[in-house]
Chains A and B, each alone.
Chain A
Amino acid sequence: MAAMLDYDRLTEDEKLEHFMERINRGEKIEADDWMPDDYRISLIRLISMHGISEIMGALPEKEWVPKAPSLHRKLAIMAKVQDEMGHGQLLLRVAEDLMAPLGKNREDIMQDLFSGKLKFHNVFHMSAPTWGDAGMIAWLVDGAAIISQSMMLDSSYGPYARALKRICAEEVFHAQHGESIILAMAEGTPEQRDMLQDSLNRWWTSLIMFFGPKSAKETGNSNADKNIMYKIRAKTNEELRQEFFTKYIPRIWSLGLTIPDETIRFDEQTQMWIYKDVDWNEFKQIVTGNGPESHNRLDLRRRSYDNNAWVRDALAAKRAI
């Protein structure tokens, strides 16, 4: 049995040691547990970025909500985009509780987004000019997201793991919604198939980028490694990307679609996919707010937040009647 601990009497070093023991035993850390600043900061960075990406990720698909080509599709995509807003809600709540001891709340998250301090996923900076993109996003962008989210289901941070559990349950619906759109188009007219292929061509590079650069050396950024040490996440960027290839490339090919990379192949010897790497400087440009739609999407978000400030002020000032 573990010795009883009076936390208030421990030194910082003892607290850290106890903390790492808990992590290594596979215990879950809760919001008001003692945690090293390093752990807290890593979590805030990861989860606020994840949360705000869900919110910003609603915007490209939302463009297709009113335009969806049947009553059934209209309802399904509305529900799907709503889920993404809901994922943002769950994740921002987790991030906000971590930030509370630093005197910050959702207002600060929004302001950090508007000032460019808080970044969101590269894919949501890209344009989605056809209905094919609505399908492609739900099929492959969500597909990529499912892979990276489900590897954190056992995250050492309890509230994050619980949020992800709710999220992943809904992702199953998203995946099927995406597959259904894609299959209808793949089995449709030549125009529909072309639309699908164009869309795949448009999204392929972004999908490779989605998982992030290969190793610490390329970016001078070792967040991923630290997150593995703290058991926040379980796999590296490249491991996730390879999983994505294994899961989706055979399906893409089975529909007769062409991946816009002539070099891509599975190497039996290394048991790895060989592929054309992307320009990671371009990636950096995109996530720092210089993607094709970065400006427009941030403007939508900022405008709605500012236009509605009076609503929040009104309710903040009143007691419930």
Chain B
Amino acid sequence: MTTPSEKGALIELLYQLADDDFILAYRGSEWLGLAPHIEEDVAFSSINQDMMGHANLYYRLLEQLGEGKADEIAHLRAPSKFRNAVLLEEVNGPGTYLEKPDYDWAFAVVRNYFYSVHKQIRLDSLRHSDFEPLAEAARKIMTEQYYHLMHWELWFKQLVTSTDEAKSRMNAAIEKVWRDFGGVLTLGPAYAEMVKANFIDDENVLKQRWMKRIEAVFNETGLPFSGEPRMERGNGRKGEHTPDLTQALATLSEVYATNPQTGW
């Protein structure tokens, strides 16, 4: 392939894809054993495993591009090297997964649903990527992604059309997610290069597709649609992050970092 600047853009894109799935799967894994219903706990966990598996596929592509071993990439980078959207690193609610977890299921449903819709659209574009290994990975991931979207869409639609309490909690969660979802929809500073090399479609096209789909669901369920989502707490694609990510990475690498050289 490719010029050095194209390669740089490709690597940026792969970090975004990998880190988005990795960090959100981690937040999901904190819910393990704490979901509203035992049967749902099991179903949710499959989604998180799938997502972490997807991250793993992308980390392996980065490994092949000379970025280091997948486990090192996942466990040893500084927070500023992570390219996930800020929204996806946010804690599940007050408390930690070990102590007093007052987690918010409405936030989990809205964040995962909106992300699933975007992921579907993004994969649809990546399927035709000019970087063939990425196109191939996207096609593999899509089959599992179909069920994730079905899962979260069902939860979303059922909760926003149920009791007053559920509606008000879901509305609060939608508002919260809206403030930062713009960070998921952007491709960051290397965006023009990614599009020019045909790695992925224009971010504006992807964003419009997402808004159209979400607006349709809002109309169907009687929710007011409030225009473009914002990016209030920084652009994760530029390495801007919150302390939530620092905490997440400390947990994720706690054991591995004690001795990355040995076998575990």
Q: Are B159 and A75 in contact (CB under 8 A)?
A: no
**Chain B residues touching A, majority SS:** helix
A82 partner, pick from B42, B52, B251, beta carbons under 8 A = B42
List A contacts of B101 (CB < 8 A).
300, 303-304
Cβ-defined contact, A315 with B162, below 8 A: yes
Contact A75 B42 (CB under 8 A): no
B residues less than 8 Å from A85 (CB atoms): 32-33, 38, 41-42, 45
- Provide the A276-310 mask, 1 if CB < 8 A to any CB of B, else 0: 00000000000000000000100111011001101
Task: Provide the A63-91 mask, 1 if CB < 8 A to any CB of B, else 0.
Answer: 10111111101110011011001101100
Does B70 count as interface, using CB distance less than 8 angstroms? yes
Docked CA distance A188–B264 (Å): 8
B102 CB-CB contact with A under 8 Å: yes
> From residue B205, how far is it (CB to closest CB) to chain A in Å?
31
How far apart sit A106 and B32, CA to CA, in the bound complex (Å)? 19
- Number of residues of chain B lying within 8 A (CB) of chain A: 53
Q: Which of chain A's residues have a CB closer than 8 A to the CB of B66?
A: none
**B157 located at the interface, meaning its Cβ lies under 8 Å from any Cβ of chain A in the complex:** yes
Residues of A within 8 A of B52 (CB): 71, 74-75, 78
User: In the complex, how many angstroms separate the beta carbon of A64 from the nearest chain B beta carbon?
Assistant: 8
Q: Which residues of B contact A65 (CB under 8 A)?
A: 29, 32
In the complex, the answer to whether B163 meets A70 with C-beta atoms within 8 Å is no
**A188 CA to B261 CA, complexed, in Å:** 10
In the assembled complex, which residues on chain B have CB atoms less than 8 Å from the CB atom of A86?
42
Q: Is the interface of A mostly helix, strand, loop or mixed?
A: helix
Q: Which listed residue, A69, A88, A106, touches B256 by the CB 8 Å rule?
A: A69
A187 to B, closest residue via Cβ: B263
Q: What residues of chain A lie closer than 8 Å to B33, measured between beta carbons?
A: 55, 58-59, 62, 81, 85, 300-301, 304
> Do A82 and B35 form a contact, CB below 8 Å, given A71-B56, A75-B56?
no
B4 at interface (Cβ–Cβ under 8 A)? no
* CB of A312 within 8 Å of the partner chain: yes
A82 near B45 with CB under 8 A, answer: yes
In the complex the two chains form, is A82's CB within 8 Å of B32's CB? yes
B49 — which chain A residues lie within 8 A by C-beta? 75, 78-79, 82
| B interface residues, Cβ below 8 angstroms from A | 26, 29-30, 32-39, 41-42, 45-46, 48-49, 52-53, 55-56, 59, 70-71, 74-75, 97-103, 105, 157-159, 161-163, 165-166, 169, 251-252, 254-256, 258-259, 262-264
3 closest Cβ pairs, A-B complex: A308-B36, A314-B166, A69-B264
Q: Given contacts A55-B33, A79-B45, could you give 9 more A-B pairs where the C-beta distance is less than 8 Å?
A: A55-B38, A67-B252, A67-B255, A71-B52, A71-B55, A85-B41, A131-B255, A189-B262, A308-B35
